[in-house]
Chains A and B, each alone.
Chain A
Amino acid sequence: MTTPTRPSLDDPALTIPVDHAGIFEPIPLARTERQQEFYALKDGELLINMGPQHPSTHGVLRVVLKINGEKVVDLDPVLGYLHRGVEKLCENADYHQVISHVDPLEYIASLFNEWGAVLSFEKLLDLEVPRRAEYIRVLSAELNRVASHMLYLGFFALDLGGITPILWSFAERDEIMEMLAALTGQKLLFNYFRIGGVNGDLNHEFMSRLGDWMGRAGAQLEAGMGLLNENEIFVRRARGMGVIDRETALRMCVTGPNLRASGVPFDLRRAHPYSVYPELDFDVPTRSEGDSLARFLLRVDEVRQSLRIIDQCLHQMPDGPVSARLPRLLRPRPGRAFSSVEAPRGQCSTYVISDGTDQPFRMRIHDPSFLHLQLMGLLMPGNLLPDTMAIMASLDPVMGGVDK
């Protein structure tokens, strides 16, 4: 049986046997300027795939590294290994079903994707959400932010070589996840927010777990992260690595903790307040160094702020209905709505165009990690190979949101 062949992507004259992609692939033909500059290999340089299955790429990210010895000269990230075509599916789904499509986008903090979608649908419908539902949304979203930051703190230390912090942070994260599972019914992809409110009211089990967790939340965080803050090796390794100054951050459209670590106090909960954030008193931690240590410490501060917000939410929780009354079949007015939410990794925005039918005409979801990966092209050249993984861990990309 002759092995089937296919014309190579580079020059159609060359045929590559389909099964035998050969021990190696010829270096691809450059089609764009950037590729020409990237594939021009000088003496001593070689191309290595830090590929889709790699311990330190968070998810299925592939980075083609051009290295000279241990020093990274240039890199070309290749995305799309988790592209599930969510936007096309949202265009063929009912307005209620879109929430379950948007859930697994940024799967580490999935309540924020739902909040973005639900907020823009409510703008389309000019809907008034009851205050109790708003407070429950803020409470559960801030819990999700704490869980997401705990995972980030664990993974950043894991990528620098420390094994214990990930066990500490996952113990904390699993506790919050069990608490949110008691509230929403699901552990990771909550599907809890609805258009006009939330799915269910606070129940006893959630409140009791939250009560005894709040008692020791601050102490566990301080002990866990104190393990790293005073650790000389960790601090000297993370300081001064992957520095982003204010100007490049703005030019690269970076948002969220990575932007606030470079000295720009832009937090959507203060800059463009939504839901009940104006009534809550918390401050926006900002640092000016812009290196990996600043991003790490900033997220620790953000966890402290979130604990303050959760505390206030519990005290000011009003009574009343949990979701607005809505018809089963939603046909919003033809029009456009854009809404943006401060997700743990940045600004997660949703842009909906509706044409009066019960399915959205166009649903655009913007994920912050997509742009944080672009920073890798600026930060990594010139560093050593182990440092590149630490820089990528400090930017905290989630491939579900990047690849949509």
Chain B
Amino acid sequence: MDRALKALLERKLGPSLEGPVRQRQDQTEIRIRPGDLPQVMRTLHDEHDLRFEYLADLAGVDTGTTFQVVYHLWSEVTPDWLRVIADGIPRDEPRLPSLTFLWKGAEWMEREAYDMFGLVFEGNRDLRRIYLPDDFVSFPLRKDFHLADDVARSPGGGVRPMERTGAPKDADETTLRRTSPGA
């Protein structure tokens, strides 16, 4: 709960913040539009009194209706984890700018997000599937990709990865695509 960090963030990134800076335990959370990701990350990385040099994690999230990409940063200045949420990425056209110009290590994390969710990072030199075989068609971590209940009845017969399985026939709206109220 680093009050100074909250004030600093509001002063430095005022216009581009979508929601209020929320803090809990040792995490500080800011929400931004995916469009101005490079500019926000550039200021966080280069400002002398912010100095967020460590990109700890880059995670894709499917909130049922839209996609999010969540970055976790750390710097010596503040003891808190900073969580930057790029929210509101449309489901049918999930494109957002890549961060490989700042952290070259983000290249594989973005490849994993593409592999699991289909998030296309523009500017990533090597955006292809990292985990699944190349002829895999669907994106497994999306909420509308359902696990088979029993392998004998899964379409791949336990020999092939499951491909774009439909939802169970008698499934109602909530199990079809789980949406998170507070996400």
Which A positions have Cβ atoms within 8 angstroms of B? Answer: 9, 31-35, 79-80, 83, 85, 87-89, 91-92, 123, 126, 250-255, 266, 271-272, 334-338, 340, 347, 349, 351, 353, 355-356, 361-362, 364, 366, 370-371, 373-374, 403-404
Does the CB pair B72–A349 fall under 8 Å?
A: yes
Complex CA distance for A92 and B57, rounded to whole angstroms: 22
Does the CB pair B106–A253 fall under 8 Å?
A: yes
Does the CB pair B135–A9 fall under 8 Å?
A: yes
- Closest A residue, CB atoms, query B76: A271
- From residue A368, how far is it (CB to closest CB) to chain B in Å? 10
Interface secondary structure of B, over-half rule: loop
> Among B56, B81, B83, B126, which residue has its beta carbon within 8 angstroms of that of A34?
B126
Contact partners of A371 in chain B: CB under 8 A: 105, 108-109
- With A252-B105, A353-B61, A374-B105 already in contact, the answer to whether A335 and B182 are too (CB < 8 A) is yes
> Among B83, B106, B112, which residue has its beta carbon within 8 angstroms of that of A338?
B83
Indicate with 1 or 0, residue by residue over B127-139, a CB within 8 angstroms of chain A CB atoms.
1111111110000
Interface secondary structure of A, over-half rule: mixed
Size category of the B interface is 35 or more
- Does B116 sit at the interface, judged by CB under 8 A? yes
- Does B87 sit at the interface, judged by CB under 8 A? no
- From residue B107, how far is it (CB to closest CB) to chain A in Å? 7
Does the CB pair A361–B183 fall under 8 Å?
A: yes
Does the CB pair A87–B116 fall under 8 Å?
A: yes
Does the CB pair A266–B108 fall under 8 Å?
A: no
Does the CB pair B182–A250 fall under 8 Å?
A: no
- Closest B residue, CB atoms, query A333: B182
Complex CA distance for A364 and B147, rounded to whole angstroms: 18
Contact partners of B116 in chain A: CB under 8 A: 87
- Does B55 sit at the interface, judged by CB under 8 A? yes
Contact partners of B133 in chain A: CB under 8 A: 80
Complex CA distance for A79 and B145, rounded to whole angstroms: 22
> Among A33, A351, A373, which residue has its beta carbon within 8 angstroms of that of B70?
A351
Interface residue ranges of B65-93 to A (CB < 8 Å): 70, 72, 74, 76, 79, 81, 83
Identify the stretch in B6-14, B20-28, B151-159, B164-172 within 8 Å (CB) of chain A at 4 or more residues.
B20-28
- From residue A65, how far is it (CB to closest CB) to chain B in Å? 17
Does the CB pair A80–B130 fall under 8 Å?
A: yes
Does the CB pair B126–A80 fall under 8 Å?
A: no
List, sorted by A's number, 19 A–B pairs whose CB atoms are closer than 8 Å.
A9-B134, A32-B127, A32-B128, A33-B126, A35-B128, A85-B140, A87-B141, A251-B103, A272-B81, A338-B27, A349-B57, A351-B57, A355-B183, A361-B178, A362-B61, A362-B62, A364-B70, A371-B108, A404-B131
Contact partners of A91 in chain B: CB under 8 A: 141
Does the CB pair A374–B108 fall under 8 Å?
A: yes
Complex CA distance for A370 and B125, rounded to whole angstroms: 18
Does the CB pair A79–B83 fall under 8 Å?
A: no
Complex CA distance for A93 and B151, rounded to whole angstroms: 17
Complex CA distance for A349 and B181, rounded to whole angstroms: 24
Known: A79-B130, A336-B83, A362-B61. 14 other contacts (CB 8 A): A31-B128, A33-B125, A33-B126, A91-B141, A251-B105, A266-B54, A272-B81, A336-B27, A351-B72, A353-B61, A355-B183, A356-B181, A366-B59, A373-B108
Complex CA distance for A126 and B62, rounded to whole angstroms: 25
> Among B29, B56, B126, B180, which residue has its beta carbon within 8 angstroms of that of A349?
B56
- Closest B residue, CB atoms, query A28: B134
The 4 tightest CB contacts between A and B, nearest first, are: A253-B105, A34-B126, A80-B131, A364-B59
Complex CA distance for A392 and B118, rounded to whole angstroms: 30
- Does B53 sit at the interface, judged by CB under 8 A? yes
> Among A33, A89, A250, A361, which residue has its beta carbon within 8 angstroms of that of B54?
A250
Contact partners of A336 in chain B: CB under 8 A: 27, 29, 83
Complex CA distance for A265 and B91, rounded to whole angstroms: 41
